[in-house]
Amino acid sequence: MTNKPPYNILFICTHNRCRSIIAEAITNTILPEKFTAYSAGSNPDGNGVHPKTIEHLKAQGYDTDSLRSKDMLEFTQPDAPVMDFIITVCDQSRGEACPVWPGQPVTAHWGMADPSTITDETEQQRAFSQVQHQFVNRIRLLDSLPIEKLDKLALTKQVKDIAEQTTIIADTE
């Protein structure tokens, strides 16, 4: 990859209400010098960010002021930032048609369960925490990659493999 940090990274989920928003907030908080994170939905439902997502992020000390639900087509406009990485975070968005992204970004899928679908409040809080921890682990692994030294094919494989590495870690806890 020829670009230098900060790298632009877009997290995509179907509705952009929960997981992609969490990934955006975490990335912009823990690695602002290396990544500028954005999130978007392939089919936002117009309901905005899930209230429990904001509540959870605020409770963990993340800045939520700039978080909003967006359509991924916003990032195909001429004045949009060019993405270095596009990561889908829900299985539904993984199989959906995506636009042709300017700059040919590295793409990967880091799927995980949607905590907003859980109705039991205690279980939902536990699920939000699990999603948060998985993203922190995955983003730290992404940070550890020698991005400037890898060609696009090797970098794509490494970024895709991150989901497998952290799934194994999460399953053993």
How confident is the model at residue 172, as a pLDDT?
A: 40
- The structure tokens listed for 3 are 């670009």
pLDDT score of 93: 56
Closest CA to 109 of 118, 120, 123, 98: 98
List of long-range contacts for 56-63, beta carbons under 8 Å, 24+ apart: 56/22, 56/125, 56/128, 56/129, 56/132, 57/21, 57/22, 57/25, 60/132, 62/25, 62/26, 62/29, 63/25, 63/28, 63/29
pLDDT-based confidence at 5, cuts 50/70/90?
confident
- Kindly tell me if the per-residue pLDDT of 167 is higher than 60: no
Rounded (10°) CA dihedral 126, 63, 31, 160: 40
Backbone angles phi, psi at 171, to 5 degrees: -70, -20
Note the pLDDT tens digit of each residue in 56-109.
999 999 999 999 999 999 999 999 999 999 999 987 655 566 677 888 899 999
Which residues, at least 6 apart from 18, have a Cβ–Cβ distance to it below 8 Å?
49, 50, 52, 53, 114, 115, 116, 131
Give percent of the chain with pLDDT exceeding 70: 90
pTM of structure:
0.91
The residues carrying an active-site annotation are 13, 90, 98
